[in-house]
Amino acid sequence: MKLFSFILLTILSLPSFAKDDTVNIYSFRQAFLIEPILQQFTEQTGIKTKVVFAEKGLIERIKREGRYSPADVVLTSNFSKLLQLTDENLTQAFNDAAVNANIPAHFRDDNGHWVALTKRIRNIYAAKDRVAAPFELNYEDLAQAKFKGKICTRSGKHPYNLGLVASMIAHHGQAETKAWLLAVKNNLARKPQGNDRAQVKAISEGLCDVSLGNSYYFGKMLTDPAQKAWADAVHIVYPNQQNRGAHVNVSGAAIAKHAPNKQNAIKLIAFLASEQAQQAYSLLNFEYPVNPQVKPAPMVASWGEFKEDTLPLTQVAKNRPAALKLIDEVKFDL
Amino acid sequence: MSVLSVNNLSVSYHDKQIISGLNLQVQHGEIVALFGASGGGKSTILKAIAGLLDQVSGEIHIGDKLVLSNNINIAAEHRHTGLIFQDYALFPHLTVAENVAFGLHQLSRQQQQQKVTEMLTLIKMQEYAQHYPHQLSGGQQQRIAIVRALACEPTILLFDEAFSNIDPQLRFELITDIRNLLKAQKISALFVTHNQDEAFAFCDRIAVINQGRIEQVDTPEQLFSAPKTRYIAEFLGEGLWLQSQIQSNTLLQTPFGEATYSGSQNLAEYVGESAMIYLRPHQFTLTHDPHSQLQVHNERFIGECYESVFQWQQQSIKVKSAESFLHQTVKVEINAKISKVFI
Amino acid sequence: MSSFSQTNMPQQTGKPFIASLFIGLKQLKHLHISTFFIALLFATPLLSIAVEALAPNSETFAHIKQTVLADYIVNTCILALGVSALVICIGVPLAWLIAVCDFRFKRFFQWALVLPLAMPAYIVAYTYTDLLDYAGPIQVALRDWFGWQSASDYYFFDIRSLTGAIIVLALVLYPYVYLMVRAGFLEQQANLTHVARTLGYSPLRSFFKISIPVARNAIIASTALVLMESIADFATVKYFAVSTLTTAVYDTWLSYYDLAAAAKLSLIMVLGIFVLLYLERIQNGQKQTHNDAKLSAQKLTYQLTKKQSILAIGYCCLILTISFIIPLYILSDYAIDYFSQAWNADLFEITLNSLIIAGLSAAIAIVAALTLNFSLRVKPIKLHKTSLKLASSGYAIPGTVMAIGVLIPLAFLDNQINALADSLSLSPPGLVLSGSFIAIVLAHSIRFIAIANKGIEASYAKISPSLDMVAKSMGQPNRKVFSKVHLPLIRKSVLVAGLLIFVESMKELPAALLLRPFDFQTLPTHVFQYASTEQLEIAALGAIIIVIVGLVPLIIINRSIEQH
């Protein structure tokens, strides 16, 4: 029993996670993608950042860690994760004047639980030499018979595709969306696999003619010497420009319900919403800023002006479960 | 007619010569022992005959079939021998019946069954057909191993120390059973052993092997009484070398008095020369003699007699006698005819 | 409680490490309690998942059952059976060649053939995708040669498929079969084959009729490990877009947000594996394929002819090349070209992290496995038997599910500790268990303890019970019997198991990914973060370090088997 008490005492005397000069980040995004921006934050404020990245199971971890979780800020790569966090009661409201000034209200939670930080478009990538009138494409067109065996995409259940399908349901209803999904599935050149870049690579290799992919990957590929050739083979297409506009998703941030360093967390989010960070997001990660004062970086701007789908993100989130079921029903990934 | 004929057999292992220039014959229906000290390459000869070794040369006939020569080396599976090992080597994953039927794959299922029953009847083990080997005693396992080999009607059976794992009490019962079985079926066998009692009990003739060479092939009686070499004489049982003088064709003068010679060799031309004779403990007689210098200092009762030990010229001499002579002074005489002298 | 802590803490120095760990086993009662607690600890993930699965039925499970579950099950079965069949086809002939045949370069192949075990399957998957896909050197060369213009002009094997996954998994998992079956062949009595030969069976037929059936236990045990490993695999099948039951578990949990349904699916998988192993045991009940190896020290050896040697060398070369040399070559190529980008001081620290985690995982798993096996030996009662079984259940659980299974109880414990601190008005220490690398170590040792249990169980079976009785009759207490008799005799298999767990733990990704503390990387997470963004060239250096660190233990393992 002596030993047990000793261990217990040692544990109890360990330093706590609550410290004045740090902020703990749970991130769904690769740590090295946000590293440069976090560095700027530390330089400016003197607050150190600690990151744990995981794509899978991070929400479960926060949930199980409960009130002693060290998490201050949660960074997500899509809207549905933000919503899941708030739905599961893992976040807390915050209200910061700087954040409110920098981010338009429709990119913030009504109850102040989350903010969006960047916008990304679900683009169609089209082979430069094989697709006629690429810039007139709609998502709906992917169901056309002319694309038989010519479409590549990642798993239908990936959050990015789920968001798109959910928006289709919001616009067209379940039955029509199911028919569309089935037709797209039948047009696939290969089973859904890989990530968004791999689809562009496949187009450059002639395996398929069109693919779905987020906008920032285009910039990533163009600046990677090994991948530039892939991007050079395709047009980045903003779909549905003649009608409702291209589907938009957001990355965002929330403050964990039991954040030990809430003030630092707010400082970090305020920084991420500031012009400096928003510019960096656009410049380094090729995303669209949500801060209206910040113009997209030159490379991002060079892909052209486009029309966004104004469907509220909450509508997309609402249809997400239905989208997931449809994808299994048509066995999209099998 | 010889069933096995081995001529000038040489065997190497890892390029080291183990057996060289070995000759051996086994006649039809005969059981021959290959008898020698442990590690003398006996098992190697057996495996060479069975065709399980690579670096062999010489000539081997099994039955009327030439299985080994300069340009022939027939594989083990075509030599029609049957191997029986010390550890039985029953296939642990097969039942008794499946073990016995193992070599009968060319027969129909019904014929196989018939043969298995026939074989198990031979050794009175019909009721064990569906048992697995580990459920049997050692003796039972060895019986199965033997009929497994017999089932294939081999030209010759090869036994490798086949009885040394069996309990001593049961061993000779098993040996007698198997010998009777082989004799009844007129089956020839070659039996490798280092155990003299087993060799004597099981075999018609014994080939004594020393350092890869056969020194003598003879009946047990002949080997025992008239060994051809000193090695054989010593190997077949402990004894005492005595220097003696040849007096005539029938008389030898030994340190313990005169002894009669009854061997086949004509000693007439060696009269006057000295020769060595080998005497075993039962070939001496002790009598109490108060004037003798020799005193029995150690003795052991071994059932049918006493084994008394005394010192003579820095040698310990053992003598078997019917009564106890412990701590008595004794006179020693030779009670047996000498059938072999080493000149 | 106190006995439990004692058994796990070395108290005296100057004694052999493991022996001193057992110093607490002064009385059987303590052993009893330790066994119970260890079994409980090692079954916690399974139990917590079972508790999760008890949550009321949601419609998710029904929906998946209606739509995709059948496909997932079929894929899983094909994958598991395919990998099992392929590892037997690759591993058993190799084991036989090396154990029984004599040919040139055999000594080299004997250890070299173990090396693929150091390759994480997902890394082999990455490299082969790089090599075989459209832009890879092979297809480029073919297109140049035949003048084809695009992918539609010709057929080429698609590595990103179920078949591809089967091949890749088999290539890295066959060494299990090779190692265990080779040991089985080495133990086999030459006499069995000799008898078969004289009964008219050719070497080849004797191999099928005798060597294989007698080595059955080793073949089945090793294939069972491979089977579980391939069912639990996620990274490879995910990369190859093959949907298996593991995919279903992840989908229900991460897409449908339904941990209960995911837990149910995991339980079904684990139960399925238990049933499979149980059926095998029943069917094998009567036969006893191990025999007394003591009697015959003789080894079966076939000297191969020149022609046969060439075939044997060719076969060994082929397997070694595709399972190890080609992936390693591709990685080295990248590692050299991108060295300046990939190398940084962090990599050293990351390697150290991995080494510590792997070392601790192996040590904990070994100590636990020894305790469990020892209590079963001392008192072969049902409770101990069940303890051992239960503690081995982790192997069949996919890595991420295991991670959650570890997280749930540890986080619970952490919360209790913090609440205690609060009530004592101390400052709460935070998540000392669930948020530290202890959680990763625990997840790894629980996942891989089955390897140690299997090995130690097998080598305990070879120790005659009379040895225990002799030692006991000489007045030795249980712990002495353990340290003086058992440990020296099972030493080798303990070493082999420990090293295997070390190597597996070096490669294991999911637990570290989910459970790691802030700014903490292991080699697999480092490799994964680059490889998953199609930057294999930067990941290559880390991957090579994983392989190199794994080589040394594997060579030791191989050597200790050869000296059998």
The predicted-structure confidence for B245-272, as pLDDT tens digits, reads as follows 999 888 899 888 888 998 888 888 888 8
pLDDT tens digits, A42-98? 999 999 999 888 877 788 888 888 888 889 999 998 888 898 899 889 999 999 999
Residues β-bridged to residue A255? A73, A92
* C-alpha to C-alpha distances, C420 to B281, C107, C424, nearest whole angstrom: 90, 60, 6
Instruction: Give per-residue pLDDT as tens, A284-314.
Output: 889 999 999 999 999 999 998 999 998 888 8
Give the C-alpha separation, B76 to A247, whole Å: 78
Domains of chain A and CATH, by start: 2-119+249-301 (3.40.190.10), 120-247+312-329 (3.40.190.10)
Class of domain C71-333: mainly alpha
Domains contained in chain B, CATH given: 2-234 (3.40.50.300), 238-342 (no CATH)
Instruction: For residue C477, give Cα distances in angstroms to B331, C16, C32.
Output: 60, 17, 15
Contact C197 B87 (CB under 8 A): no
Please name the member of B78, B89, B134 whose beta carbon is closest to the beta carbon of C195.
B89
What is the end-to-end Cα distance of chain B in Å, rounded? Answer: 36
Q: Look at C517 and A52 and tell me if their CB atoms are within 8 Å.
A: yes
What is d(CA B96, CA B106) in angstroms, rounded to the nearest whole number?
19
- CB contacts under 8 A, C 294-333 vs A, are none
* Total residue count of chain B as it appears in this document: 343
Write the pLDDT tens digit of every residue in B72-99.
888 888 888 988 988 888 888 889 999 9
For C403, name the nearest residue in chain A, comparing CA atoms only. Answer: A57
Q: How confident is the model at residue A34 (pLDDT cuts 50, 70, 90)?
A: confident
Region B30-42: what's the mean pLDDT? 87
Please, what is the Cα angle at C395 between C394 and C401, to 5 degrees?
Answer: 60
* pLDDT at residue C2, as a whole number: 37
Categorize the per-residue pLDDT at B116 as very low, low, confident or very high, splitting at 50, 70 and 90: very high
Q: What confidence score (pLDDT) does residue C282 get?
A: 67
Spatial distance between the Cα atoms of A229 and A235, rounded to a whole number of angstroms: 12
Note whether C303 contacts B: Cβ–Cβ < 8 A. Answer: yes
Model ipTM value:
0.80
Residue B42 has pLDDT above 80, yes or no: yes
Task: Give the CATH number of domain C18-52+338-564.
Answer: 1.10.3720.10
Single-letter residue type at A121: I
pLDDT tens per residue, range C353-393: 999 999 999 999 999 999 889 888 888 788 888 888 888 87
How large is the average pLDDT for residues B294-304?
88
Vertex C346 angle, CA C344 and C352, to 5°: 125
Residue pair A158/A327 in contact (Cβ under 8 Å)? The answer is no
Query: Cα angle vertex A200, ends A155, A218, to 5°?
Result: 105
What pLDDT score does B237 carry?
84
Return the closest-CA partner of residue C326 out of C505, C162, C124: C124
Q: Are C436 and C517 in contact (CB under 8 A)?
A: yes
- What is the number of alpha carbons within 13 Å of residue B118 lying toward its C-beta? 12
Which residue type does B110 have?
Q
What stretches in chain C show pLDDT beneath 50? 1-21, 23-26, 286, 288-296
- Domain(s) labelled CATH 1.10.3720.10 in chain C stretch across 18-52+338-564, 71-333
User: How close is the nearest chain C Cα to the Cα of A275, in Å?
Assistant: 27
Q: Which tokens sit at C314?
A: 């060719």
| pLDDT at residue A10 is higher than 90 | no
Question: Does A217 appear as a known binding residue?
Answer: yes
> Quick one: pLDDT at residue C344?
78
H-assigned helices in B18-137: 42-50, 96-100, 109-122
**A216 annotated as ligand-binding:** yes
C215 touching B, CB under 8 A?
A: no
pLDDT at C247: 79
* Better-scored residue on pLDDT, C536 or A148: A148
Q: Give the whole-angstrom CA distance, residue A311 versus residue A309.
A: 6
Show the tokens assigned to C378: 């001392």
pLDDT at A4: 54
Return all residues near C547 (Cβ < 8 A) that are at least 6 apart. C118, C119, C123, C328, C331
CB contact under 8 A, B103 and C192: no
Reported in sequence order, the residue ranges of chain B that DSSP labels E, i.e. its strands, are 2-13, 16-27, 31-36, 56-62, 65-68, 81-85, 156-160, 188-193, 205-210, 213-218, 240-246, 251-254, 257-260, 274-279, 284-288, 296-301, 306-312, 315-321, 330-334
Alpha-carbon gap, residue C254 to C262, rounded angstroms: 9
Question: How close is the nearest chain B Cα to the Cα of C192, in Å?
Answer: 5
Beta carbons of A328 and C63 less than 8 Å apart: yes
Residues 54-83 of C with CB under 8 A from A: 63-64, 67-68, 71
Residue A15 has pLDDT above 70, yes or no: no
Residue A9 has pLDDT above 70, yes or no: no
Q: How many CB atoms lie within 10 A of CB B324?
A: 13
Give the span between the Cα atoms of A211 and A231, in whole angstroms.
12
**Strand runs labelled E in C88-178:** 101-102
Measured at the CA of C464, the angle between CA C461 and CA C468, to 5 degrees, comes to 110
Strand runs labelled E in chain A: 22-27, 48-53, 73-76, 91-92, 114-127, 151-152, 210-214, 234-237, 248-256, 288-289
The reply to whether residue B52 touches residue C202, judged by beta carbons under 8 angstroms, is no
Amino acid at B121: T
Touching partners of A (3+ C-beta pairs < 8 Å):
C
Return the residue matching tokens 């733990």.
Answer: C505
Asked if residues A78 and A161 have their Cβ atoms less than 8 Å apart, the reply is no
Greater confidence (A10 vs C99) lies with C99
Q: How many CB atoms lie within 10 A of CB C488?
A: 10
Distances (CA, A) of A213 to A166, A201, A217, C499, C533: 16, 11, 7, 44, 14
A101 touches chain C (CB under 8 A): no
Asked if residue B132 has pLDDT above 70, the reply is yes
